[in-house]
Amino acid sequence: MSQDNSRKLFEEARRIIPGGVNSPVRACRSVGAEPLFIARGQGARIWDADGREYLDYVGSWGPLILGHAHPAVLAALGETMASGTSFGAPTALECDMARLLVDCVPSMDMVRLVNSGTEATMSAIRLARGVTGRSRIVKFDGCYHGHADSLLVAAGSGVATLGIPGSPGVPEEIAGLTLSLPYNDLEAVRAAFEKYDGQIATVIVEPVAGNMGVVPPREDFLPGLAELTRTHGALLIFDEVITGFRLGLGGAQARYGLDPDLTCLGKIIGGGLPVGAFGGKKAIMSRLAPEGDVYQAGTLSGNPLAMAAGRAAIETLRADPGLYDRLEQTSAALAEGLIERARKQGLEVSGNRVGSMSTLFFNPGPVTDYASALRSDTTRYGRFYRAMRERGVYLAPSQFEATMVSTAHGLGEVDQTLAVADQIFKYL
């Protein structure tokens, strides 16, 4: 089948939208393709503007853990929309959502609702700087925390290299306050705290990395970060925008039994609508205006539609005690099946999986950090992506993203996917 409509839409978009897309990875350049324009979704499947059907393993980059157009989410949106879309004033839905988040996420006493994951991480870092009175922050190579200036920093070499801007428009003075260190390397963090004693406000980390492909933490890494930040008077921020409610109701912190000072959320808590949140201990969160002196605001924060969709999604997750076990089973079958079939054809691959997020690396592995992830054969991944898409399987258009399984995927969809992959691995 042709992709004429997607191609025409892309040509039009490039005339009026930079690059033809509103977020760069959607352009599919790293996999040697042009984007598909999506017309609709239902369950585990999407249809493009030319009517072609695909099994979807992107899930809007993670929010759609219940699949597309889930009836509970659509019903909540319809009911809420009838009363209006935005008020710029408090609503009961905001209280409902805040209560749900505090109930589910172990480390949260209080939460502030915002509009995106970037807004959540940016605000959490500002709060950490305000609370500690310090300026420097630590992040990790390959961990993406949104496009705020402090976080859009390229990794340097050495133990505690000062950040350099990862994009024009990011001032060196701001980037220079960010230390970018190797993921899973506690010694590098320890050395940074020694070198910049009393200067580091916070360490921000994806507890399970999802933006260099899926990379799980080593057993001692997250507990070590908690100990180091506590010892040196810094705050520990878990960026759970991806992992929150995907790895369980309490996110990665509940899975690993940890207690960060601040947590950032997004994606799933909006049920597919734009949303973000950050929360933590009452003593820290009470420093936010208007109660405290650290300013943060947003016109559409706590938007009724996002709150209604998110509440419906979370309540659906909470209502089914076997849901996460089924997600685990489906995701394991997919991830392990892809590795097994690729290796049977002599391909050098490895894979990482935590819960319902996984990555097949065209890399003999192991992949434990950004440097090892970068050794992947991205050209081969591009061929794999294009061949899968042509045969009706929609994967993330980058080697360095996660495959997302939803509750709408079952073992039948996994078998279908593996059968398609089997055909392709023979010719890669």
Looking at the structure, tell me whether residues 228 and 128 fall in a common domain: yes
Among residues 144, 324, 370, 385, the one annotated as catalytic is 144
What whole-number distance in Å separates Cα of residue 119 and Cα of residue 122?
5
Q: Is the pLDDT of residue 422 over 50?
A: yes
- Euclidean distance between the first and the last CA atom of the chain, given in angstroms as a whole number: 23
pLDDT band at 153 (very low <50, low <70, confident <90, very high): confident
Q: pTM for the full model?
A: 0.96
| Cβ 191 vs Cβ 158: under 8 Å | no
pLDDT at 32: 95
The yes-or-no answer on residue 54 being catalytic is no
Helical segments of 257-322, H only: 282-285, 304-319
The yes-or-no answer on residue 239 being catalytic is yes
Looking at the structure, tell me whether residues 313 and 347 fall in a common domain: no
Average pLDDT on 164-170 reads 69
Looking at the structure, tell me whether residues 248 and 148 fall in a common domain: yes
| Cβ 160 vs Cβ 195: under 8 Å | yes
Strand arrangement of the beta sheet that strand 53-56 belongs to:
38-42, 45-48, 53-56, 393-394
Looking at the structure, tell me whether residues 287 and 162 fall in a common domain: yes
What whole-number distance in Å separates Cα of residue 235 and Cα of residue 128?
6
Report the number of distinct structural domains present in the chain: 2
Task: Determine the structural domain holding residue 270 and report its residue range.
Answer: 71-319
Output the DSSP codes for 43-88.
Answer: BTEEEETT--EEEESSGGGTT-TT-BT-HHHHHHHHHHHTT-S--S
pLDDT tens-place string over residues 297-356: 999 999 999 999 999 999 999 999 999 999 999 999 999 999 999 999 999 999 999 999
What whole-number distance in Å separates Cα of residue 71 and Cα of residue 2?
31
Among residues 48, 139, 267, 377, the one annotated as catalytic is 267
pLDDT at 281: 96
Among residues 149, 239, 369, 377, the one annotated as catalytic is 239
The yes-or-no answer on residue 185 being catalytic is no
Q: The domain spanning residue 408 has which CATH number?
A: 3.90.1150.10
Q: The domain spanning residue 275 has which CATH number?
A: 3.40.640.10
Q: Please give the structure tokens belonging to residue 397.
A: 């258009």
pLDDT band at 149 (very low <50, low <70, confident <90, very high): confident
| Cβ 13 vs Cβ 20: under 8 Å | yes
Q: Is the pLDDT of residue 162 over 80?
A: no
3-state helix, strand, coil in the chain (%, to 5): 40, 15, 40
Strand, coil or helix: 341: helix
pLDDT at 172: 83
pLDDT tens-place string over residues 116-127: 999 999 999 999
